[in-house]
Every structure is written in structure tokens, then in C-alpha cells.
Structure 1
């Protein structure tokens, strides 16, 4: 029996931001004294439409730790993508800003004069290390280097996909999430973010719309039941994707207006290691290099000790990786960073606990199930998030971490929020959104007051993500009007 679940887009992380209307609810020319702040904030969170929600708020003076407002600061909340603050801060403290993920490429059968015997390699071996930036550009580099050495044939292509800890898919993620770009498998052989695009294009009226994959090698891993029909121009688009349980299958149902240019969906690649293998073989063939046999193995398998390092492909620095993680709220990057915290006798969770303890956060104040915040089982207190922000602000990584956050009205998930207000360019923050939950934590500069550090989380809501963001933004706009009285 097939089980169908419809994707609800409000469950998607805050990778997409929408213009806010909070400015319309706050008198932007009004100055607010500290003594009036409580009443102003409570007028927002205690509105009739907010009564069944749960709010957690902590706002402090960044310089002297003075608490300006608090509400349920020590209670647990589902943080959504605000959890990435823990993962990125932990990785930065553990490895430093200049750390890079290095992917080694080995060969076997090279002569003393550094030329390939008989234009043939016994083996080409690539050990995936979980570089989330790995793309076909890197595959091209490998092929070019081999071509320059005169290689025409590879007898055995060996790809190692077990460097990172299992499982590749978090068991606490929801079923309907794992089919889409924000919940891709977290493996060691990553290519193109483990993501593929499916585009629906109109055809003739009352005929099925055509499907086009951004990459056919990735697309062939999917089975698509297409029930989207092209309709007249006066018909509104109405397209839904329904994952089919326990299969790499999707049913797409709905109507697509003939005037619509296209309708694109970002999907996960079910077997990214296989996609890596087939893509590499395709690239090698384009360079007239034939692959006789290929296999994907676990890193624990015994490897030929006679292999030689051919080249090493490096990722951008960790400073750049955490910028993508926080500004774009990239779940793949966050999960990779968490898995990298596994070291020696410590699990990734124990290692992260150690880093958080160094920042002054007790493990009693958070319970984690992933590194990205996609799991609805994650719990953290607003107080813990503020402590993390203060701790990293007092470290040597102060500027690097702050620059990894989105800037209000400028970039990342805050690009379209606080436009044309005194918050623009003055708020550095991390957003978070899940169905029924929204969060924003970060730093706020105020020319008329002092720098602030804050965490605002709302859970258990039936309101849309846009409505929740607007309520949070109203609070932030109030903070921007603070003055000393």
C-alpha cells in the first residue's frame, strides 16, 4: 500500500525570506526607554492571536550582561536553524578559521620518471572526506591532471564513502523532508550539494507537462508519476508533490498554466555516492579516459598500500564554510561540520558538549538530535543561545563568527527583512523556521543605546511563518529604538 504525504512548504528552513510588514506595526520615530521595554514587548507577544503560542526571549546588554527583558529564558524550545549557532561555533573553536577539508586522490602504477606506464592505471582511488563544496569542477580537475599524465585507461576506479559517521540520514527527520534539498543524505562522497532540480514545463493545453532534470544522472535515481497537466492561461497554477513512502518515488499532481515559463523543485539525490561514481566516469570519458571497472567501498576495507598520492583537493576555509552554513542556513554544511567533531575517543556530541562548556553553556540547557536544526526533537533554552553568542564574541573568533551571520537588509536569510529601517546593517543574526516555530538570535548595534545580544523563539503556533517572523521583527524594531532615559 502506498502512503502519500504532501510537502508543506512552511516546514522548509529559513532558506527563503520574505519582505516583512513589521515596520507598519511599529512607530519607527518613537524612542523607547528601558523602563518601557517590557510593556512594549508584552503588547506583541500577548496579542489575542498569540495566546496559544509559547515564547522564549532573552535580551541583554552585550557589554555588561544587564538583562533588559526575559521571558521563559530557561525553558526548552525547538530552535530550528538557530541550532546552527552551536554547530558552527563548536567547529570554529575545535578546528580554527583556516581549517580545510582535504580530499585525497591516489593512483597505483606510476613509473620512476613520473609518467604513466602504457597509458594505463591499475587503480584510481578517491577517498571522500565529506567536502560539501565538491562539484563537477573538481571532477574536471582530476580528469585534466590524469590527461596531462597521458592516462587513457583506468582498470579499477575505487571510491571510498565511509569516512564520516553513520547514518547518512538522521532518523529524527520527518519523512516528507528527506526527499527535498534541505534534507539530503550526509555522506562522504558529496557532489553538487547532493541536490538535483526538477523543472516542469507547459506543453499543449490538456496535455501532461514535460519534465526536465538539471542532471540526468541524478534524475534517473527518481521515479516520477507525473499527473501535472497544462491548462489555459486563466487557470491558476496548483502543483503538489507527494513522496511515496519507502521508495525514491514522487507523485506530482496539479495544473500548470500555459503562460508559466517553468516550475522548478529542488530534490535530494537518493544515492549520492552512486551519482558521484557515474558523474566521474562520465567526466573521465569526456577526456577520453576509459574506466574498466568501478566500485564504492567503505573506508574500513583494506586498501592497497602501494597507492601513491596523486593530488589533494581542498575545500574553502572553515571561515567560508560557516558563512554558507549560517547565512544561507545550509543544512548539509551544518551536518558535515557536526560529523567532523567526532574525534578519537569522543563522539561528535561529546566533542560539541566540550566546546559548549568552554563557552559557558551547560549541556543541561540543550538536547540535540542533529547539527542543522531540521529535527523537531532538538531542544535548547534562549539563555543557552545568548551565552554562546556572548562566549564566541569574547573569543579570538569574534569577527569571523559575526561575519558568518546574516546582516539585516543585506544578505543571507535576513536580506529581505528590516529593509529601509535603522536595523539595516546593524543586526547580525541567525534565523530559524519550522512549521509552527520561528527564531532569531544574534547581535544588534544601536547608536542611541549600547550593543545588544538576544534570542527570540516562538513555538507551538498555527500562524504562518511570515506572521511569526513579523512578530519577531516588531520586537527587534523596538530594540532599535531603545535609548537611555
Structure 2
């Protein structure tokens, strides 16, 4: 008899009994009992660890029950015990190893982005690129374009700083340079900003009005710049009781009206943030209090994104020596550009790169823009959130998911009416391993302790560097789902959904970390 067979089974028995380490004498005694056939029956061919299939299943079930019980104990012994928890853990074979309320519909927050990005990769493909184009309606006379120009929005969310070495004007400069290379130094007509690729609904269903001043809840338009935000910098320099200094990108633009009612406080007083855009306008009330010496940076939303785009473009054109007269006109019409002259264009990074903003950085703007784009390009009609989500559900069904366990009102996870189960999330994670796009998808995830929204989490944990996951947060909801590569060389697919908690987010995060550390140790 091969002695390694009963030893491995003995280790499983001891582990199930909660014996983590055996002294050498005890280990030898146990081995002698096993070899003599006193402790367990002689093994038969097949089954776990060389024992009978029935015995193996009992051991396996006992081990898994122990892990599930210990997870429940971690939760029940924490101050978050009164929250609603759901946990699902699957093996590489797709078996659900741990189930704690895993079929209970839960709010997922940004974990909904997992479903959206999977659908986008299959619907558009990882190499899909956006092309923003300037069309001319007129002719070039000398160095003057006699007529109008139209900037046709393509749904590109990335006309910002994130893909161009922190240079938010990169795309504008590239377009202006192409116009100048054609010999154009002056435009005698109007500048139109066409956003007809999408419908004119600025927000998805379910977003809360008091979020709409902040960068994570901007208006959505097919022609968008800088995520439809200004970037505010506040410096608390000056005496106590005075107003702090403010500057903003782009250009300290007069597109917005910033009402600075902020005050500098003594250094002992904590910073208190207060920003509010008057809805439907570009008037932003600044009412924060800042301790002396404090530096604050915040991105705040604007209204009418297409007008913001062409206003910023025209200012950059003036700065670059390309002058113009006429008006700035946002245009919601769907246009056929076949009768226009193509003057300049810009192509985005491929979709697989853009999706890193969605999953690793949890960017709501990118998510909603890409969802409408999926509908626009797939259906050759104005893109809507509802049509995009319907197409995503179709892709998820093709992956074999039970979409009855899923309800989405928006794409990004801000809508509190969104529901999904921990089980369907781990089913998605497992299904995507068989997808031709699984590598591109996995590359969009944050890595524990290294990147994205997990850069500063799981530091000094054994999980650090071995977990790739998507975080989620809205008020009362904290979620974490992804992959965990464990010491045995296998991969686990996990989802932890926490709803209705009243404690600090950091407290919930600590329980999530302890659950992941337990999975690392036990598998």
C-alpha cells in the first residue's frame, strides 16, 4: 500500500477536526495506525486521496462546511453582523464551494460593471476603437475655411488626460494640428458639436440628484470632454476667515460660474466639503471650509456636454493660432456625413484598454458612455442605456448565465434598484475563463495591493498580488468580487456582497480581508 495515500487522508481528517499542526510523535503514531488499518478502512481504487468515493465526499463536505462556518463566524463576531451578507466561492471546475445567502438578490454597487464589461467585450470586441471626426461644410479659400465645421461625437469617453500622459488637451491639439496641416488658419463659419449618436437622456435611471454635482455622476453625451467636468483646485492661503484661492481646468473657463463662498479656518478645524451645482445650470456653489494651508482638488460636473466640448475646443484653437468667427452650436440631430468633407479625425485606444478605467478604476462615466455606444454601433440607431443593457443581457445569456438573477437599471451600479446574486457573479467569473476574451477581461481588474481601487488594500496580506477583483461602493453597500490564486496552485472565483451596513466602510473592508485571508489559508 502506498503510505502517502492514508497520510493525505489523515491530514484531511485532522484539518476537518480543527487540528492545524501535529507534533512529530503524534504524526508518526497516526501514520502507524493508518498503515495498520486500525483508524480507517483500506482504500479502494478511485476517489479523493485514494479513499472510497463516499468517504472522500464526506471529508470534502465536512471541510467546506467548516470553511463556511468560519466565514459566518467572522461576520457574526464583527460589528457588521447586523448587515446583510452574501458570499459565493467557486472552484476552477465551477462548483460552488461556499454558499452564504448566495442566491439572495443583493445590491451590487459597482460589481455590476463586471457584467457590463463582459458584455461589451463580446458585443464590440477588444480591438474596437472610437473615431471622432471633424467634417467641413464649405471650402478652403486661401488659408480660410469658408463655411462651418462639425465635430461629430463618436461616443469616445477617453477625450481626457488618462490615456495621454496626463494631457487632457492631447486630442484637441491633434485635431487642430490636422486642420492647420490642411492650410486652415481661420474658420469663417460656425462650430457645431454633434451628439446625435446618442439620445438626449443625460442620466440613467436611478441616479440620486445630490450626486449630480460630482465627477462620479456626470451627464452623458456622445461628444464629451474631460468626463464632462471641470477640475477645481482650492488653496487655503490667507488669513483665517478669508476666501481661499481657486483655479480650475480648463482655462479657468467662463463656461462655468463658480460662486466662492468658502472660508479658511484655523488649522485645528477639519476640512468640510460642500459643493453643489444648481441643476440645469453651470452655476456651482462652493461652500467648503478649509484649514489654513489645505490643498483641495475636486472634479465637478457641467451641463450641456456638447457645448462644453466645442467651447473648450474653440479656446484651445485660439490659443494654437487657429482663429474663428461665428457661433458655437450643439447639435442633437442624427446626421449623414456623406456630403461633407472630412477635415480631421482622432482614433481612441482599443476597447480593451478603455475598459481598465471601468473595472480597475470604477469609472462610472466610461461605463455609461460605453453602454450607449454598444447600442449605437450594434443597432445603427441612437444609443440608449436601455438598448445597451438589453444587448449586454443577450451576451450574458450566450455565456450561459441565468440573467433572471440579475436586474440592472444603469450600467455603472449607482442605481440602488440594481440587484444581483453572489452566485451569478461567480458564475460569470467562471464562465469568462472559457471566453476568447478572458485575458483582456482579467487585465481590466484591479490587483490587490498594486493597482486601481485595490492599490492601497490588502497591503502585507498574503492575498496581496494574488487577487484580481472589482470593488463596489454606494451608501450602505460594499462589494468585492474576483479571482484569488491560492497556494495550492488553483484559482477560486469569489463574490462578497455586503448590504445595509451602518458601520464605517473600513470596518466592512476589514471583514472582507479576513474572509479572503481565510480562503487563502484553506484552499
**Aligned residue for 1:87?**
116
2:368 maps to 1:335: yes
**CA-to-partner distance for each residue in 1:79-108, whole Å, 9 max, x for gaps?**
111010011100001111111111122224
2:107 maps to 1:72: no
**Secondary structure in 2 matching 1:74:** coil
Corresponding residue to 2:190 among 156, 159, 178: 156
Please say if residues 176 and 243 of structure 1, whose CA atoms lie closer than 8 Å, have aligned partners that are also in contact. Answer: no
TM-score of the two chains, using structure 2 as the length reference = 0.80
Q: Which runs of 5+ in 1 are unaligned?
A: 1-29, 111-115
CA distance in 2, matches of 1:97, 1:125: 29
**Secondary structure in 2 matching 1:57:** strand
Please say if residues 61 and 68 of structure 1, whose CA atoms lie closer than 8 Å, have aligned partners that are also in contact. Answer: yes
CA distance in 1, matches of 2:472, 2:211: 16
CA distance in 1, matches of 2:155, 2:214: 19
2:398 maps to 1:373: no
2:164 maps to 1:131: no
**Secondary structure in 1 matching 2:287:** strand
2:248 maps to 1:224: no
2:471 maps to 1:446: no
CA-CA distance at 1:233 after TM superposition:
3.3
**Secondary structure in 2 matching 1:179:** coil
Aligned residue pairs, count:
446
**CA-to-partner distance for each residue in 1:394-438, whole Å, 9 max, x for gaps?**
111111111110111110111111112221111111000111111
Please say if residues 217 and 278 of structure 1, whose CA atoms lie closer than 8 Å, have aligned partners that are also in contact. Answer: no
Worse overlay, 135-144 or 345-354: 345-354
**Secondary structure in 2 matching 1:480:** helix
TM-score of the two chains, using structure 1 as the length reference = 0.86
Corresponding residue to 1:395 among 435, 451, 458: 435
CA-CA distance at 1:299 after TM superposition:
5.0
Worse overlay, 362-371 or 145-154: 145-154
Worse overlay, 386-395 or 436-445: 386-395
Please say if residues 64 and 98 of structure 2, whose CA atoms lie closer than 8 Å, have aligned partners that are also in contact. Answer: no
**Aligned residue for 2:244?**
209
**Aligned residue for 2:27?**
none
**Aligned residue for 1:286?**
319
2:374 maps to 1:350: no
CA distance in 2, matches of 1:250, 1:127: 28
Structure 1 pair 65/166, CA: closer, same or farther in 2 (3 Å)?
same
Q: RMSD of aligned C-alpha atoms?
A: 2.3
Corresponding residue to 1:106 among 130, 135, 140: 135
CA distance in 1, matches of 2:334, 2:63: 66
Q: How does 1:225-304 map to 2 (within 5 A)?
A: 225-226=260-261, 228-242=262-276, 244=278, 247-260=281-294, 262-300=295-333
Higher relative helix content = 2
CA distance in 1, matches of 2:273, 2:90: 45
CA distance in 2, matches of 1:374, 1:185: 14
Q: How does 1:411-422 map to 2 (within 5 A)?
A: 411-422=451-462
CA distance in 2, matches of 1:348, 1:316: 21
CA-CA distance at 1:209 after TM superposition:
1.9
CA distance in 2, matches of 1:238, 1:297: 37
CA-CA distance at 1:290 after TM superposition:
2.3
| Greater gyration radius | 2
CA distance in 2, matches of 1:141, 1:242: 34
Please say if residues 83 and 372 of structure 1, whose CA atoms lie closer than 8 Å, have aligned partners that are also in contact. Answer: yes
Q: Which runs of 5+ in 2 are unaligned?
A: 1-19, 22-61, 161-168
Please say if residues 241 and 265 of structure 2, whose CA atoms lie closer than 8 Å, have aligned partners that are also in contact. Answer: yes
Please say if residues 256 and 284 of structure 2, whose CA atoms lie closer than 8 Å, have aligned partners that are also in contact. Answer: no
Q: How does 1:161-172 map to 2 (within 5 A)?
A: 161-172=195-206
